[in-house]
Amino acid sequence: MSIDSYTLERFIDDLRRLAASAVDEASLLGQIAPLAQRVVAERGWLRADMYRADPQLGFGTSLLHVEADQSLFVVVDSWLPGRGVPPHDHDTWALVVGVEGSERNIFWQRLDDATRPGYAELQRMDEQCIAPGQVLAMPSGSIHSVINETPHTSLSFHVYGRHLNHTARRQFDPEHHRELPFIIDAR
Ligand SMILES: [Fe+2]
C-alpha cells in the first residue's frame, strides 16, 4: 500500500471532519461524493465475504463503520442477480457509489400527507443505473427502490448520516398503498 493510499480510515476521518462543519446536507453530499468515489476506487476495504447475501432478502449488508452515537454509517451492500429492495426512505441523507455490476435505482414521490398510519401513496418518477464508480446522492426524504437486473451479484458502497436501524425509515408497497418499518441486518 503506498503512502498516498486513500484508505477507509482516511475516508472516515474526512467524513467526520466534513460532517462536523457542514452547513447543510446538499453541501455535505457534494463534499463527500468525490471522497467516496476515491475510497471505492482504491478497494483496500473490500473483502470476499462482502459478496454474501441473504437468499430470502435478496441482499446482504456488511458494516464498515458507524460512530458511537450511531451517526456516519458506512456499509457495503450486495445484491443477488434479479433481486432488489422495495421502495424505502432513509430518514437521513444517503450517498451510494457503485463498486461492481450495475444497480437500477428507481425514484418515487410520496403523494399523501403521511398522516394515516401504515398508509402511503407513491408515484414512480425517474430512475438511474449505478455502474462502478458512479455516485448517487440522496438527501433526507428521498424514496428509492433498487434492483440488480444483471446475472451477477452486484456491490455498492453506502454512506448514511445515521445507522439505518436507528432512524424512523420506512419501506413501501406502492401497489397496496402500505407503509412498513424497515430494519436491516448490518454486521
Ligand atoms: Fe436505500
Give the distance from CA 96 to its chain's centroid.
Answer: 5
**Ligand 1 centroid – CA 90 distance (Å):** 6
pLDDT value of position 3: 65
**Ligand 1 centroid – CA 21 distance (Å):** 25
Res 183 pLDDT > 60: yes
Residue of 62, 69, 63, 74 whose CA lies nearest to 13: 74
Beta carbons of 108 and 124 less than 8 angstroms apart = yes
**Ligand 1 centroid – CA 34 distance (Å):** 19
Residue of 6, 10, 9, 14 whose CA lies nearest to 31: 14
Residue 36 lies in a domain: yes
pLDDT value of position 158: 98
**Ligand 1 centroid – CA 171 distance (Å):** 9
Segment 101-115 mean pLDDT: 95
Residue 92 lies in a domain: yes
Residue 3 lies in a domain: no
Give 106's pLDDT tier (boundaries 50, 70, 90): very high
Segment 9-26 mean pLDDT: 96
Beta carbons of 173 and 180 less than 8 angstroms apart = yes
d(CA 75, CA 65): 7
Domain count, the chain: 1
Res 2 pLDDT > 70: no
**What grid cell was written down for 119?**
398508509
Residue 170 lies in a domain: yes
Domain that holds residue 90: 8-181
Helix pair angle (25-42, 8-21), 10° resolution = 170
d(CA 131, CA 150): 12
Whether the model pTM is above 0.85: yes
**Within 13 A of 56's CA, how many CA atoms are on the CB side?**
2
pLDDT value of position 165: 81
Q: What is the CATH number of the domain that holds 55?
A: 2.60.120.10
**What grid cell was written down for 21?**
462543519
Residue 46 lies in a domain: yes
Residue 187 lies in a domain: no
pLDDT value of position 186: 63
Beta carbons of 80 and 86 less than 8 angstroms apart = no
**Ligand 1 centroid – CA 108 distance (Å):** 12
pLDDT tens-digit map of 42-100: 999 999 999 999 999 899 999 999 999 999 999 999 999 999 999 999 999 999 999 99
pLDDT value of position 19: 96
Residue 1 lies in a domain: no
Residue 186 lies in a domain: no
